[in-house]
Copies of this chain bind each other. A is one copy, B any other.
Amino acid sequence: MRFTSQTSTDGVTERSFTLGEIPGVLWTPEDAEPRALILIGHGGGQHKQAPGVVGRALRLAAECGFAAAAIDAPAHGDRPKTAEHDRIITEMRACMADAGDPVPLLAELHTLLAAQTVPEWRSVLDAVGDLGPVGYWGTSLGCALGIPLVAAEPRIRAAVLGLNGTSLASAEAAAGVTVPVQFLVQWDDERVPREEALALFDALASAEKTLHANPGKHGDVPAFEADSALQFFARHLG
């Protein structure tokens, strides 16, 4: 793991890194050992320094004394698309131009991305060393890629997930998730049918799982849910 830059603002240190081909960012509280580490999975079309990712990381570090890490998912941010990514994306565009249903191709893309990103996240965990108990926070694409990660990685002990459903996230992988989960649903999500979101929540094997549903579309998650996610992580990892 090679750190390539470092800045410090309002008590939080932000360091960019590369680990092999993976570009990432690590946020840590400036004046104390982190009490826990939260992995932040960005949404589709976003990247490791999208405003929503940075905002969560800064609050985790400043308000909870937690470290946070984000990486670009394959084909996102600073990372190239492979021929396989290009093929699926081209087919999706053709499908949509033809008024077809792009969901099966999008699901194929998510499966491909998950197969790549799960071992990448695990190598990041190996490389950063012990920063305390680990959580995962990712919705939408970050949920689809996070569920197989949380199922596979025993160091992850709590997760905030959601804004996805059984068409684009793996209910089979969800059945392998056993840690406490807070799961977000947008009640009028234009991208995720409500029953598919509820079915994904149902599929989680966690003894403690809590669903938070709010009115509005995919992008309308109310600000108080970020407060609630911080409280959730503080309860389980703090």
Contact = CB atoms under 8 A, between A and B. Distances in A.
Interface of A: 187, 201-202, 207-215, 222, 224, 227-228, 231, 235
A106 B110 CA distance: 49
Nearest to A194: B198
A52 B211 CA distance: 23
B215 A213 contact: no
Contacts of A212: 210-212
B208 A211 contact: no
Contact of A211 (B207, B213, B222, B224): B213
12 contacts: A207-B215, A208-B222, A209-B215, A210-B213, A210-B214, A211-B211, A211-B213, A211-B214, A212-B212, A213-B213, A224-B235, A228-B228
Q: Which of A210, A214, A222 has the most CB of B within 10 A?
A: A210
Nearest to A210: B214
Contacts of A208: 215, 222
A214 B209 contact: yes
Enumerate the 8 nearest inter-chain pairs by beta-carbon distance, A residue then B residue, closest first: A211-B213, A210-B214, A212-B212, A209-B215, A210-B212, A224-B235, A211-B212, A210-B213
A173 to B, nearest CB: 19
A214 B212 CA distance: 9
A182 to B, nearest CB: 10
Contact of A231 (B187, B202, B215, B231): B231
Contacts of A227: 231
